Amino acid sequence: MSELIKATDVVKKFKLGSEVITAIDKVSISIDPGELVAIVGRSGSGKTTFLSCVGMLEAIDGGQLMIKGRDVSKLSETERTRLRRELMGFVFQRFFLIPTLTAYENVALPYLFAGKKAEHEKIMQLLETVGVAHRSKHKPGQMSGGEMQRVAIARALALDPPLLIADEPTGNLDTTNSQAVYELFQKLSSSGKTVIIATHSIKLSSACPRVIELQDGRVVKK
Amino acid sequence: MTTLGLSFKGLLRRPSGFIAASLTIAIASVVLLLSFGLSKGYDNALLSSINSLGANILAIPKGCPYEATGVILSGGTLRYAVAQDNLELITKTPGVKIVSAIIMGQRPVAPIKKVHVIVGTDDNYFKLRPKLEIDKPLGEDEIALGFKIHTVLGVNPGDFLWVAGKDYKCVAVASENATEDEDLVFMNLKTAQTILGAEGMLSSILIGTTDPTNAELVAKRLMNIPDLQVVTIGDFRATITDFVSGARVAITSVLIVIMLIAAVGILTTQASAVAERRGEIGMMRAMGATKGQVLCIVTLEAILTAFFGGVLGAVIGFLLGPTASNMIKSALPQSPSGSIISNDWLSVLTTVGLVIVISIIAAFGPARSAANTKPTEAATDE
């Protein structure tokens, strides 16, 4: 099976005043379709930056990044935005649901940005999959943290992307909800979606079939 | 879900901020609409008053001609300092077509014996002012009434009205459309001169020329008559227009300040709204929202705020028009008759359109800042 993501000597640098910090230092990894991968490491190890690079949230400064067989290393911001919409869904520690929209409307948002008509059946099915269909008409303020994160996951899956990127998805959740979210990721992975999770949680990472450990921007365990 | 719907719901996140910004816009719109109405209405009322004089030239006693004309336009009275003998000289002046003598003064009128303006006129007066729709020359014991005073006193044609010690028969009532003369009591010239104790004297003389474009030349000829001040309506209009232009500059300055306040209101509201949702906007960008889409969402929020405020302000301004007109007129020493604030749908649309344009300009900075939000803000926002 050909890899979904292939990073070769990827470098990402940041300027901090006059100092240049290398956040990702020649990272090379491959991730296949349907894999459930945990990215672990201490704070400042480069987990979030690595996910931002893989998720095309920002451009890389060196090396090569291939996603679904396409070299995305030199793409413009507009091209990255378009490709991100097609290939990826994102889940963050803070859910960033729009507080004035219902759960249903939040899940429908990606359709608006993609210029597509929202598919009612699909949205309801997604809410059903993540277990919050009964909350479809509720606004985020009326839901628990776990429910909000499930809605955020449903939103990330709205346009049926092959890759789901989650940065500390259980950071704001209690044990029960964390376990439920993990099981959801497992289910998605089994259905063929690639899931990459950056996490501090040993429990979550140890449950993942593959763990990549970063230290000072370098891969220490693949 | 549409972009407009998303922007509208975005406004509901901070209802107090939305309401405050809309109210600022509404106040600005009220002032804007009233200013438009005043600018247009004052000109219209002034032109209507001037045109209703029915003459190209006004002969008045020596003094400030514009003040005198203003007094006549607003229904005030002039001293009786023009000798009636001048009428013959004026009539014989080449280019003069029609001449009407006027004496104006104030005398008590029944039933409450309140002082009213009485106007003594000759037969030509009603020919010069057809808008009055009085076609009958007034006899020595007859009067005609302006529409408003006829209504207030309840005196109809055929009734008698007591004026300064004697009963006079009302023979006509002026048209309701002749608002400039609605408060006047018209009398025979000779009778009015007697009542006012000014036999042989006049307040002013209205002069119509054979060729209206020739008024300046005729006025020059009339200036040779001693003790007579001659002013053409064109001169008077130009002077008043200059005065109104000066006032308009002052109003425009106030408007600019008000618009700036409204713009700052929009700018601060949108800037803080964008700063508050930096992570959320980053999430939208991560989901695939383009810079243009984010720019559009934030700009639409400003447009919606301006639209609600603008429409509210325009409605209030429209309803306040008549009251504001009366208030401004009561504050002015002399003003034309009729409403000096004239608003129409075009003014309303212009007002709403203008505040929307201002809101777009004001929101551009915050909208651009939102559009430039990096998608990584969603990952790093704490």
Q: The domain spanning residue A137 has which CATH number?
A: 3.40.50.300
Average pLDDT, chain A: 91
Tokens of B316: 């209030």
**Position B62 confidence tier, pLDDT thresholds 50, 70, 90:** confident
Same-domain check for residues B249 and B374: yes
Whether the CB of B9 is below 8 Å from some CB of chain A: the reply is yes
Are B190 and B197 within 8 A, CB to CB?
Answer: no
Last residue of a domain, one of B226, B260, B275: B226
* % helix, strand, coil for chain A, step of 5: 35, 30, 35
Residue B289 has pLDDT above 50, yes or no: yes
User: Which chain A residues have a beta carbon less than 8 Å from that of B15?
Assistant: none
* DSSP category for residue B132: G
Q: How far apart are the C-alpha atoms of B75 and B117, rounded to whole Å?
A: 7
- Pick B293's closest partner by Cβ from A99, A113, A159: A113
The count of domains in chain A is 1
Residue B69 has pLDDT above 80, yes or no: no
Residue A23 domain flag: no
Residue B64 domain flag: no
Q: Which residue has the higher pLDDT, A172 or B375?
A: B375
Residue B22 has pLDDT above 80, yes or no: yes
Domain containing residue B100 = 82-226
**Confidence at residue B225, expressed as pLDDT on a 0 to 100 scale:** 83
Q: How far apart are the C-alpha atoms of B29 and B280, rounded to whole Å?
A: 33
Residue B284 has pLDDT above 60, yes or no: yes
Q: How far apart are the C-alpha atoms of A46 and A57, rounded to whole Å?
A: 14
Whether the CB of A146 is below 8 Å from some CB of chain B: the reply is no
Exposed, middle or buried by CB within 10 Å (0-12, 13-18, 19+), for A89?
A: buried
Same-domain check for residues B249 and B201: no
Are B310 and B25 within 8 A, CB to CB?
Answer: yes
Residue A5 domain flag: no
- Pick B288's closest partner by Cβ from A58, A96, A110: A110
Same-domain check for residues B204 and B152: yes
Smallest CA–CA distance from B291 into chain A, residue: A78
Residue A15 domain flag: no
Residue B77 has pLDDT above 60, yes or no: no
Residue B29 has pLDDT above 80, yes or no: yes
The count of domains in chain B is 2
Tokens of B152: 């207030």
Identity of the residue numbered A66? M
Phi and psi at residue B204, to the nearest 5°: -160, 165
Residue A100 domain flag: yes
Distances (CA, A) of A2 to A37, A77, B378: 16, 26, 30
Q: How far apart are the C-alpha atoms of B308 and B297, rounded to whole Å?
A: 17
**Position B362 confidence tier, pLDDT thresholds 50, 70, 90:** very high
Q: State the maximum Cα–Cα separation within chain B, in Å, rounded to a whole number.
A: 97
Question: Are B375 and A118 inside 8 Å of each other by CB?
Answer: no
Residue A26 domain flag: no
Tens-place pLDDT, residues B293-304: 999 999 999 999
**Confidence at residue A178, expressed as pLDDT on a 0 to 100 scale:** 87
Same-domain check for residues B218 and B250: no
Domain containing residue A102 = 34-59+73-221
Residue B50 has pLDDT above 90, yes or no: no
**Confidence at residue B87, expressed as pLDDT on a 0 to 100 scale:** 87
Return the CA Rg of chain B. Answer: 30
A121 Cβ contact partners less than 8 Å away, ≥ 6 residues apart: none
Question: Are A96 and B379 inside 8 Å of each other by CB?
Answer: no
Last residue of a domain, one of B191, B226, B261: B226
Are A139 and A98 within 8 A, CB to CB?
Answer: no
**Residue of B8, B11, B278, B283 for testing the chain A interface, max A β-carbons within 10 Å:** B283
Q: Which residue has the higher pLDDT, A34 or B128?
A: A34
**Confidence at residue B251, expressed as pLDDT on a 0 to 100 scale:** 79
Residue B191 has pLDDT above 90, yes or no: yes
Whether the CB of B328 is below 8 Å from some CB of chain A: the reply is no
Residue A2 domain flag: no
Residue B115 has pLDDT above 50, yes or no: yes
Question: To which H or E segment does residue B120 belong?
Answer: strand B114-121
Identity of the residue numbered A175? T
**Residue of A16, A83, A88, A98 for testing the chain B interface, max B β-carbons within 10 Å:** A98
Same-domain check for residues B140 and B272: no
Are A80 and A112 within 8 A, CB to CB?
Answer: no
**Confidence at residue B381, expressed as pLDDT on a 0 to 100 scale:** 47
**Confidence at residue B194, expressed as pLDDT on a 0 to 100 scale:** 92
**Confidence at residue B294, expressed as pLDDT on a 0 to 100 scale:** 96
Locate tokens 């249903």: which residue? A104
**Position B143 confidence tier, pLDDT thresholds 50, 70, 90:** very high
**Confidence at residue B239, expressed as pLDDT on a 0 to 100 scale:** 72
Whether the CB of A54 is below 8 Å from some CB of chain B: the reply is no
Q: How far apart are the C-alpha atoms of B358 and B260, rounded to whole Å?
A: 9
**Confidence at residue A124, expressed as pLDDT on a 0 to 100 scale:** 95
* Nearest C-alpha neighbor of B192 from the set B124, B129, B119, B139: B119
Which stretches in chain A have pLDDT values below 50?
A: none
Last residue of a domain, one of B193, B226, B259: B226
**Confidence at residue B130, expressed as pLDDT on a 0 to 100 scale:** 82
Question: To which H or E segment does residue A127 belong?
Answer: helix A120-129
Tens-place pLDDT, residues B304-342: 999 999 999 999 988 888 888 888 777 765 566 677 788
Question: Are B288 and A48 inside 8 Å of each other by CB?
Answer: no
- Pick B284's closest partner by Cβ from A57, A100, A113: A113
Residue A85 domain flag: yes
Question: How many angstroms away from the CA of A166 is the closest CA of chain B?
Answer: 10
Smallest CA–CA distance from B372 into chain A, residue: A77
Locate tokens 């501090």: which residue? A200
Average pLDDT on B141-164 reads 91
B155 Cβ contact partners less than 8 Å away, ≥ 6 residues apart: B145, B161, B170
* Nearest C-alpha neighbor of B295 from the set B315, B311, B274: B274
**Confidence at residue A115, expressed as pLDDT on a 0 to 100 scale:** 92
Whether the CB of B15 is below 8 Å from some CB of chain A: the reply is no
Residue A25 domain flag: no
Are B272 and B16 within 8 A, CB to CB?
Answer: no
**Confidence at residue B372, expressed as pLDDT on a 0 to 100 scale:** 93
**Confidence at residue B361, expressed as pLDDT on a 0 to 100 scale:** 94
Question: Are A81 and B293 inside 8 Å of each other by CB?
Answer: no
Same-domain check for residues B202 and B335: no
| Number of residues that this document lists for chain A | 222
**Confidence at residue B78, expressed as pLDDT on a 0 to 100 scale:** 59
Question: How many angstroms away from the CA of A32 is the closest CA of chain B?
Answer: 22
- pTM above threshold 0.90: no
Beta strand pairing call for B57-60 and B185-188: unpaired
Tokens of B26: 């509404």
Question: To which H or E segment does residue B302 belong?
Answer: helix B291-331
**Position B382 confidence tier, pLDDT thresholds 50, 70, 90:** very low
**Confidence at residue B334, expressed as pLDDT on a 0 to 100 scale:** 57
Question: Are B1 and A108 inside 8 Å of each other by CB?
Answer: yes
**Position B282 confidence tier, pLDDT thresholds 50, 70, 90:** very high
Residue B370 domain flag: yes
Same-domain check for residues B363 and B313: yes
Q: What's the ipTM?
A: 0.91
